[in-house]
């Protein structure tokens, strides 16, 4: 640990840090732009200048960039000395030369890193009187706004977009003072992680368009710490509200889970809370099949009498509902009548994942996967199934460059140098999937195989690791398997990624076998499992006894469905399964096929309106807190279900009930502080201390201000009165520190820059140790139909987010050329098939990279009927919906050009 | 003196004092307005005189409220005490030759006794309110009044020595021979006037109610007519002190013959009332410790020296 | 001793000085019979002004709302098809307003201005809630000639990039000339 002297103050700093990191970690404010904790330094902006002295006797020193200066023992620096201060002042003045007078009409205003740094540097007057450079903006899709005039050319955007997220379509163009950051031509930014540009850009060049539509300044937002509902990774987010509407989602730093970045599904998908199709009132189906809006009290009364008169009552929970809601349902219908709302196959796979998480096999967190030096992805379309993981796996491929850099003593924060030495040399990443994935481009090996063959290859790799030859595979397959096995064995920290996306237990088993075998050979191979929904693992741990089919097989008279669209699970069997049910009570947020066949529907609160605990794919139980109090009858599901059995209890009591009845979930009580938590006698404020309009917001309804809604469930308050910065990480409602209005204030809450939170990482790992796992036999499914996942469209809830919905693909069938030939169709022709005597016609995409015997269909609402089918009988169609050009995102036309 | 006349004088005194107090509410504000370059009350009736009536109606119409935490009996008794004490003080004031309620031979002592009783009213009011501001106000008034009581008495001793009597009628009559005592007893006059202001806790010596420190001091919890009685008591005190100054130092009803004696008495009293209001308009309130130091370190020696000198003069000249 | 005399003298002079005011004229203005003169900068009823083109000056930046010490301003930003920001609604609860003028000082576009009109009493407090249609006037108020977008970098209808004051025309990114 070197000791340095900064302005005659002695600091013990971390070895290998650069000075900027060290200073920020020590709490010394220093302005910067181009450096980013997740992306290292390049020394482009010259803003973080300090003076370095040669020794104790040196009085003049020389100006150095702190982000490009390694800390060495006994080095002496000054931040405050006049020459450094003057230098920084002139740098910011130069950076601001062309910055427009835009702050009042800029979405970044009030949380702008450039504003903060300008104030910190002390620049206030533009002395230069020349003209300001201007640019034309581009249309970058429905999510990201572009206002190039505001650019200060720090290059963070292209460094993030190209180097970190691996995008290709954002670049720096032009020369001298005409440098332009954008695309070659207007159009959608292709990367799934483009949304992070909003947070990466230190000023307002890239802004959140979805937020701008109902823009609110950061100081006016009422926010809370939430858990993303987009997939199973459990990324931490800040969700913000104003005027009763969800306004935006921002990244909430978590050292182990999502770090500094989110995917676009998570960032823009949460707008489903505001969707048109939201169920805002209880409804009772009348004789015409329409729904009569009913007061919640009446509806609850009717539901109570249905339940008390029912001869048989069953309940179907949901992996996208919180543990508390599922537990409340489990208590309502009884343990033997409850299903966690998943199919047998998925339940069995999740049980496997739980077993491996409890076993001694290392199960790294998402941030830890970035350290792995060889990755095998077996059957998972990571980019579209667990998108944020794809960003981490991209970082993992950089480990080769990092090893090379360390070999020649280049510090790892020296970003440009590390990338220069690595060139295109990447750590091995093997992707074995049936369909294309954007991650393929950084992979060392890409194999397109049908699901069964993926399982068989996995089995073969397992044998190859053990140096056995079971002789069943062809020479071709076994040589590939040996090569992959070799890569994994050479690595010091290999990682196997598998999951439930293909609903293929064989693939998961094969991946597990590989991990177990490697560990048996004393190679510390990690296993990373992806599940499908935000609480898949949680409900599997809660109660994995009965599947949906078990419940349906008993033909219950009354069925209570909690936040679950059964059509997505049952596919073509949906209508038949629900036919015999007399009373179907559904609690949900959004209209869906299950809701529209229900007899009674109750308006359930979303994650942004209710507290809940979610267990992510690594077994981390995390608490999500309500952002706002929903208007009208919308009520948290656990409260509705409790009301159905005339019980009133506090959510903390449900935590204790779960903890007492299920030992593995005992940790959820400690996942976040209980409602009685106080700091100096105060709760945590959801609003900033400068929230405005308190006496005018509701003045149009009544000039007498209403009492603020009370929140008995959580240690947070719907008010600006309470604790702000002192809140622990799992309760902090927004990221702000004095002088740091932007989300760059993260470092104020970290033990060291880019490290754990001072108050500990949020959430608690509930599955730790105590288990055993053995290799098993790989089973095959013989399915010909393969679901192809889409980051926009394959998730149930986020589909309803208005802007995201424009990017959902039209239905299609992707097939190999030979299949197409045999059907007599070509690209853009249509094929049709029949399910349940209903005809469907989809467009054809001919793709020779597909495994020849498979048919891929996009997992979107339009194709839900194919969910459980193994095969379909195809014929050439007369009419169909045209497929999108790339089969990926649809590109909308540019308005501004 | 016929029996009916004495009743006439008694009721005349009571109604005169009360009427004077009521009119003073309006008159003081009007005068303060003039000296502060404002108009003062001018909307109700001619010159705003209707305000006095309006104020009285308002005070009577207000809810007669006793705070639940107060000592009920004392709380109600306190404001009546001050009015009673002040009215009794008027009994010994000679308005004109033969026009007085009673000519006591201990009139001065009676007057001082009555003004001393008024302190109980303020103190009890403060105590019974069960309120920290009221309590502090009560404490202040107790200390202030007890202190100033001392040289109020001493300052008058010179006059008593010169007259050889405690009777106010005798004092006035003596002044007809020896000239107004304000000349021979100038320092006694100064000390008596100061003490008088302090006794009636008028500005600038209104520390018991010092509103920017103690909300409203001893009457913080009072409202309606009970508050009104404190206010009336204060104005009664003002009139009483003015008439006493006029009687003791300015020759009472004495004056040239073109006006009847009662008019001279009224005019002189009125001038002093105006003077007290001028003090309120001009002089800021001293700090509490300054008030006490002023009393004990300056006024007390002054009156003692005055007494000594007067004694010497009476003895040897 | 001298100090005491000085102090006494000072008190006497004060008395005389105040007494002399008996003969000076009262400054009172008998409102409402007599209307007082109010300077243009007098802080009364708040209005929203328009720029010289007749467009709303307010850009919904929310600075007035955050500057307001009684939090009586609420608004929501929206934008027109050319990207010009304006308030979707703009509400001032005058029953809370203390006419401090902080909103006017915070306003970067001279949109919100306080006028010398203070006579806005109502029998019903609800009528003290003013919406945008009540606040918006058709003139420029105290600051004629100012248009925020003429000095800002954002392009709006009839003002393209590079047409604002002190701006050069948009650069040709594809040019490689030195």
Which pLDDT score, from 0 to 100, does residue A408 have?
92
Average pLDDT value for residue range A512-516: 93
CATH number of A3-95, picked from 2.40.50.140, 3.10.20.740, 3.90.1530.10, 1.20.58.1000: 3.10.20.740
Q: Which of C1, C17, C28, C29 to mutate to test the interface with B (most CBs of B within 10 A)?
A: C28
Average pLDDT across chain B, whole number: 85
Going by the DSSP 8-state scheme, the letter that residue C163 receives in this structure is -
Q: Above pLDDT 70, what percent of chain A? A: 98
Helix (H) or strand (E) holding A831: strand A830-835
- Partners of A131 on chain C (C-beta within 8 Å) are 166-168
- Partners of A100 on chain C (C-beta within 8 Å) are 152-154, 164, 167
Which pLDDT score, from 0 to 100, does residue C31 have?
87
Closest in C74, C129, C153 to A693, CB measured: C74
CB within 8 Å of B177: residues ≥ 6 apart: none
* DSSP 3-state of A34: coil
Interface of C with B in 14-33 (CB under 8 A): 14-15, 17-19, 21-22, 24-28, 30
Query: d(Cα C114, Cα A636) in Å, to the nearest integer?
Result: 45
Which pLDDT score, from 0 to 100, does residue A679 have?
92
Average pLDDT value for residue range A603-612: 94
- Partners of B283 on chain C (C-beta within 8 Å) are 11, 14-15
For the cut 60, the answer to whether the pLDDT of residue A895 exceeds it is no
Query: d(Cα A348, Cα A411) in Å, to the nearest integer?
Result: 46
Which pLDDT score, from 0 to 100, does residue A36 have?
93
Beta strand A830-835 with A875-876: parallel, antiparallel or unpaired? Answer: antiparallel
Going by the DSSP 8-state scheme, the letter that residue A839 receives in this structure is E
Query: d(Cα A669, Cα A189) in Å, to the nearest integer?
Result: 42
Three-state SS letters, A326-368:
HHHHHHHHCHHHEECCCCHHHHHHHHHHHHHHHCCCCCCCHHH
Helix (H) or strand (E) holding A50: strand A49-53
Dihedral over Cα of A743, A745, A749, A753: its sign? positive
Tell the burial category of A784 from Cβ atoms under 10 Å away from its Cβ (0-12, 13-18, 19+): middle
* Residue-wise pLDDT tens digits, A123-173: 988 898 899 999 999 999 999 999 999 999 999 999 999 999 999 999 999
Average pLDDT value for residue range C69-81: 94
Q: φ, ψ for residue B67 (rounded to 5)?
A: -60, 145
- A892 band by pLDDT with thresholds 50, 70 and 90: very low
Point out which residues pair with B96 in neighbouring strands.
Answer: B99
Q: Which fold has domain A785-876?
A: Barwin-like endoglucanases (2.40.40)
Name the token pair of A240.
Answer: 């913000």
CB distance C11 to C98 below 8 Å: no
Q: Distance between the two ends of chain A, CA-based, in angstroms?
A: 56
Which pLDDT score, from 0 to 100, does residue A884 have?
61
CB distance A587 to A637 below 8 Å: yes
Check B34 against C22: CB less than 8 A apart. yes
For the cut 80, the answer to whether the pLDDT of residue A469 exceeds it is no
Check B298 against C15: CB less than 8 A apart. no
Query: d(Cα A427, Cα A392) in Å, to the nearest integer?
Result: 13
Q: Domain A282-345+538-765 classified CATH 3.40.630.30?
A: no
- Partners of C24 on chain B (C-beta within 8 Å) are 37
Point out which residues pair with A792 in neighbouring strands.
Answer: none
Check C26 against B35: CB less than 8 A apart. no
The count of CB pairs under 8 A between chains A and C is: 142
Residue A280 to residues A271, A329, A802, A847, C6: CA-CA distances in angstroms?
15, 21, 17, 44, 81
Rounding to the nearest 10 degrees, give the CA dihedral for residues B105, B107, B110, B115. Answer: -170
Average pLDDT value for residue range A35-57: 91
Q: Domain A363-524 classified CATH 2.60.40?
A: no
Query: d(Cα B272, Cα A703) in Å, to the nearest integer?
Result: 53
Closest in C61, C96, C108 to A695, CB measured: C96
Query: d(Cα B32, Cα C53) in Å, to the nearest integer?
Result: 55
- Partners of A699 on chain C (C-beta within 8 Å) are 72, 74, 91, 93, 129
How many other CB atoms are found less than 10 A from the CB of residue A469?
A: 12
Going by the DSSP 8-state scheme, the letter that residue B283 receives in this structure is P
With vertex at residue B47, the alpha carbon angle to CA B42 and CA B52, rounded to the nearest 5 degrees, is 80
Which pLDDT score, from 0 to 100, does residue A875 have?
85
Helix (H) or strand (E) holding B12: helix B3-35
Query: d(Cα B93, Cα B115) in Å, to the nearest integer?
Result: 13
Q: φ, ψ for residue A584 (rounded to 5)?
A: -115, 110
For the cut 50, the answer to whether the pLDDT of residue A887 exceeds it is no
Put simply, whether A243 touches C (Cβ < 8 Å) is yes
Instruction: Give the residue among A717, A736, A650 at the shortest CA–CA distance from A678.
Output: A717
Which pLDDT score, from 0 to 100, does residue A736 have?
93
- A455 band by pLDDT with thresholds 50, 70 and 90: very high
Query: d(Cα A859, Cα A789) in Å, to the nearest integer?
Result: 5
CA–CA min distance A185, chain C (Å) = 12
Which pLDDT score, from 0 to 100, does residue A885 have?
53
Name the token pair of B252.
Answer: 């009472």
- Least reliable range by pLDDT among A565-574, A695-704, A765-774: A765-774
Instruction: Output helix, strand, coil percentages for chain C, rounded to the nearest 5.
Output: 25, 20, 55
Which pLDDT score, from 0 to 100, does residue A527 have?
94
Check B37 against C25: CB less than 8 A apart. yes
Q: Above pLDDT 90, what percent of chain A? A: 68
Helix (H) or strand (E) holding A752: none
* Residue-wise pLDDT tens digits, B219-263: 888 888 888 888 888 888 888 889 989 888 888 788 787 888 888
Question: Residues of C annotated as binding site?
Answer: 58, 61, 64, 68, 97, 100, 103, 107
Which pLDDT score, from 0 to 100, does residue B161 have?
84
* Residue-wise pLDDT tens digits, A743-769: 999 999 999 998 999 989 999 999 887
User: For the stretch A629-639, what's the b/e string if a residue is b when 16 or more beta carbons lie within 10 angstroms of its beta carbon?
Assistant: bbeebbbbbbb
Average pLDDT value for residue range B179-185: 82
* 0.80 exceeded by pTM: yes
Closest in A137, A149, A703 to C125, CB measured: A703
Q: Hey, where are the domains in chain A?
A: 3-95, 128-274, 282-345+538-765, 363-524, 785-876
- Least reliable range by pLDDT among A272-286, A304-318, A707-721, B37-51: B37-51
Q: Which of the listed ranges A792-806, B145-159, C107-121 does the model predict with the highest average pLDDT?
A: C107-121
Chains with at least 3 CB pairs less than 8 angstroms from chain C = A, B
- A471 band by pLDDT with thresholds 50, 70 and 90: low
Residue A115, by phi and psi: left (phi above 0), alpha (psi -120 to 50) or beta? Answer: alpha
Rounded to the nearest 10 degrees, what angle do helices A637-644 and A296-309 cross at? 50
Instruction: Output helix, strand, coil percentages for chain B, rounded to the nearest 5.
Output: 75, 0, 25
For the cut 80, the answer to whether the pLDDT of residue A891 exceeds it is no
Which pLDDT score, from 0 to 100, does residue A889 have?
40
- Partners of B36 on chain C (C-beta within 8 Å) are 21
* Residue-wise pLDDT tens digits, C135-163: 999 999 999 999 999 999 899 988 899 89
Dihedral over Cα of C145, C146, C152, C154: its sign? negative
Query: d(Cα A268, Cα A211) in Å, to the nearest integer?
Result: 9
Which pLDDT score, from 0 to 100, does residue A175 have?
84
- Physical contact, C and B (3 or more Cβ pairs within 8 A): yes
- Least reliable range by pLDDT among A35-44, A111-120, A318-327, A464-473: A464-473
Interface of A with C in 106-145 (CB under 8 A): 109-110, 129-137
């Amino acid at each position: 640990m070197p000791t340095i002297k900064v302005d005659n103050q002695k600091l013990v700093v971390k070895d290998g840090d650069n000075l900027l990191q060290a200073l920020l970690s020590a709490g010394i404010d220093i302005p910067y732009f181009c450096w980013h904790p997740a992306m290292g330094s390049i020394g482009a902006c010259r803003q973080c200048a300090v003076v370095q002295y040669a020794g104790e006797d040196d009085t003049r020193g020389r100006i150095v960039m702190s982000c490009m200066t390694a800390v060495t023992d006994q080095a002496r620096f000054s931040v405050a000395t006049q020459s450094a201060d003057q230098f920084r002042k002139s740098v910011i003045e130069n950076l601001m030369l062309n910055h427009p007078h835009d702050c009042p009409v800029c979405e970044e205003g009030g949380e702008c890193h450039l504003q903060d740094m300008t104030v910190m540097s002390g620049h206030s007057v533009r002395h230069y009187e020349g003209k300001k450079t201007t640019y034309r903006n581009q249309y970058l899709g429905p999510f990201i706004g572009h206002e190039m005039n505001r650019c200060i050319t720090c290059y963070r955007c292209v460094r993030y977009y190209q180097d970190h997220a691996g995008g290709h379509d954002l670049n720096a163009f032009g020369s001298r003072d005409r440098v332009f950051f954008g695309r070659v031509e207007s159009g959608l930014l292709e990367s799934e992680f483009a949304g992070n540009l909003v947070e990466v850009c230190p000023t307002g060049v890239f802004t959140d368009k979805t937020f701008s539509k109902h823009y609110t300044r950061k100081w006016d937002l009422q926010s809370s710490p939430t858990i993303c509902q987009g997939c199973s990774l459990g990324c931490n987010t800040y969700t913000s509200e104003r005027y009763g509407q969800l306004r935006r989602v921002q990244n909430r730093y978590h050292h182990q889970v999502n770090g500094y970045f989110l995917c676009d599904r998570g960032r823009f998908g949460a707008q489903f809370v505001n969707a048109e199709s939201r169920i805002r009132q209880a409804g009772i189906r009348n004789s015409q099949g329409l729904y009569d809006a009913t007061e919640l009290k009446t509806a609850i009364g009717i539901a109570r009498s249905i339940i008390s008169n029912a001869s048989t009552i069953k309940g179907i929970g949901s992996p996208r509902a919180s543990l508390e809601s599922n537990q409340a349902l489990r208590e309502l219908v009884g343990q033997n009548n409850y299903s966690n709302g998943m199919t047998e196959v998925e339940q069995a796979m999740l049980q496997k994942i739980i077993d491996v998480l409890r076993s001694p096999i290392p199960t790294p967190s998402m941030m830890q996967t970035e350290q792995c030096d060889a990755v095998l992805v077996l059957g998972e379309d990571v980019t579209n199934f667990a998108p944020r993981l794809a960003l981490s796996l991209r970082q993992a491929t950089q480990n080769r460059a990092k090893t090379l850099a360390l070999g020649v003593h280049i510090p790892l924060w020296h970003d440009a140098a590390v990338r220069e030495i690595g060139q295109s040399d990447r750590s091995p990443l093997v992707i074995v999937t049936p369909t294309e994935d954007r991650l393929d481009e950084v992979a060392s090996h890409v194999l397109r195989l049908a699901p069964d063959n993926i399982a068989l290859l996995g089995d073969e790799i397992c044998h190859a690791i053990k140096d056995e030859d079971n002789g069943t595979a062809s020479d071709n397959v076994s040589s590939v398997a040996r090569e992959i096995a070799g890569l994994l064995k050479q690595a010091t920290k290999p990682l196997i990624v598998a999951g439930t996306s293909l609903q293929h237990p064989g693939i998961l088993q094969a991946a597990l076998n590989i991990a177990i075998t490697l560990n048996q050979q004393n190679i510390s191979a990690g296993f990373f499992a992806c599940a499908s929904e935000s609480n898949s693992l949680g409900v599997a741990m809660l109660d994995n006894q009965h599947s949906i089919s078990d419940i349906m097989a008993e033909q219950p008279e009354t069925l209570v469905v909690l936040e679950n669209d059964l059509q997505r699970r049952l596919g073509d069997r949906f209508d038949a399964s629900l036919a015999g049910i007399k009373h179907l009570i559904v609690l949900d947020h959004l209209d869906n096929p299950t809701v529209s066949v229900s007899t009674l529907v109750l308006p359930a609160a979303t994650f942004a309106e209710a507290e809940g605990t979610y267990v992510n794919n690594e077994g981390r139980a995390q608490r999500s807190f309500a952002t706002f109090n929903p208007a009208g009858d919308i009520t948290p599901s656990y409260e509705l279900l409790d009301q159905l059995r005339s019980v009133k209890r506090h959510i903390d009591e449900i935590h204790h009930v779960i903890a007492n009845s299920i030992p593995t979930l005992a940790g959820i009580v400690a996942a976040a502080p209980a409602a009685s938590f106080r700091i100096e006698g105060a709760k945590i404020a959801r609003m900033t201390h400068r929230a405005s309009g308190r006496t005018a917001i509701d003045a149009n309804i009544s000039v007498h201000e209403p009492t603020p809604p009370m929140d008995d469930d959580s240690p947070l308050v719907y008010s600006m009165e309470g604790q702000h910065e002192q809140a622990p990480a799992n309760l902090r409602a927004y990221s702000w520190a004095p002088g740091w209005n932007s989300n760059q204030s993260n470092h104020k809450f970290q033990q060291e820059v880019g490290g754990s939170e001072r108050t500990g990482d949020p959430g608690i790992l509930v599955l730790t140790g105590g288990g055993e796992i053995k290799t098993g036999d790989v089973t095959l499914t013989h399915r010909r139909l393969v679901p192809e996942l889409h980051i926009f469209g394959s998730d149930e809830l986020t589909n309803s987010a208005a802007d995201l919905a424009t990017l959902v693909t039209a239905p299609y069938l992707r097939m190999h050329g030979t299949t197409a030939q045999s059907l007599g169709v070509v690209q853009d022709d249509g094929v049709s098939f029949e399910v349940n005597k209903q005809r469907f016609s989809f467009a054809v995409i001919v793709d020779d990279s597909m495994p020849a015997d498979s048919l891929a269909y996009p997992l979107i609402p339009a194709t839900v009927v194919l969910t459980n089918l193994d095969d379909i009988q195809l014929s050439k169609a007369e009419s169909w919906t045209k497929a999108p050009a790339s089969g990926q995102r649809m590109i909308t036309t540019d308005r501004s050009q | 003196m016929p029996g009916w006349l004495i009743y006439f004088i008694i009721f005349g005194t009571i109604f005169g004092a009360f009427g004077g107090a009521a009119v003073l509410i309006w008159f003081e504000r009007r005068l303060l307005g003039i000296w502060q370059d404002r108009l003062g009350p001018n909307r109700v009736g001619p010159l705003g005189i209707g305000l006095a009536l309006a104020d009285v109606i308002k005070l009577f119409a207000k809810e007669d409220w006793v705070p639940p935490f107060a000592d009920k009996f004392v709380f109600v008794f306190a404001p009546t005490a001050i009015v009673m004490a002040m009215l009794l003080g008027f009994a010994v004031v000679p308005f004109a030759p033969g026009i007085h309620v009673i000519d006591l031979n201990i009139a001065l002592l009676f007057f001082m006794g009555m003004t001393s009783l008024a302190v109980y009213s303020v103190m009890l009011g403060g105590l019974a309110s069960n309120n920290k501001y009221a309590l502090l106000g009560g404490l202040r008034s107790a200390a202030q009044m007890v202190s100033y009581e001392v040289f109020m008495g001493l300052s008058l001793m010179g006059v008593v020595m010169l007259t050889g009597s405690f009777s106010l009628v005798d004092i006035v009559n003596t002044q007809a021979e020896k000239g107004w005592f304000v000349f021979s007893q100038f320092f006694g006059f100064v000390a008596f006037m100061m003490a008088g202001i302090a006794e009636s806790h008028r500005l600038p010596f209104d520390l018991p109610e010092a509103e920017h420190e103690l909300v409203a001091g001893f009457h913080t919890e009072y409202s309606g007519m009970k508050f009104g009685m404190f206010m009336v008591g204060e104005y009664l005190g003002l009139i009483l002190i003015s008439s006493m100054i006029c009687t003791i130092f300015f020759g009472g009803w004495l004056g040239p013959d073109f006006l009847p004696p009662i008019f001279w008495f009224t005019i002189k009293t009125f001038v002093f009332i105006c003077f007290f209001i001028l003090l309120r308009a001009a002089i800021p309130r001293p700090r509490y410790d300054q008030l006490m130091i002023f009393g004990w370190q300056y006024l007390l020696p002054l009156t003692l020296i005055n007494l000594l000198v007067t004694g010497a003069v009476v003895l040897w000249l | 001793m001298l100090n005491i005399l000085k102090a006494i003298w000072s008190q006497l002079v004060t008395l005389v000085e105040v007494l002399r005011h008996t003969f000076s004229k009262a400054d009172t203005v008998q409102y409402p019979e007599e209307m007082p003169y109010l300077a243009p900068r007098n802080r009364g009823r708040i209005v929203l002004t328009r720029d010289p083109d007749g467009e709303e000056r307010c850009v919904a930046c929310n600075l007035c709302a955050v500057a307001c010490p009684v939090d009586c301003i609420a608004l929501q930003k929206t934008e027109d098809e050319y990207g010009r920001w304006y308030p979707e609604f703009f509400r001032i609860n005058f029953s809370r307003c203390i006419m401090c003028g902080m909103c006017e000082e915070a306003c970067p576009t001279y949109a919100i201005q306080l006028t010398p009109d203070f006579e806005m009493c109502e029998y019903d407090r609800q009528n003290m809630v003013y919406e945008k249609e009540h606040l918006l006037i058709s003139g420029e108020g105290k600051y004629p000639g100012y248009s925020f977008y003429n000095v800002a970098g954002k392009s709006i209808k009839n003002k393209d990039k590079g047409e604002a004051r002190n701006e050069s025309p948009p650069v040709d990114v594809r040019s490689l000339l030195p």
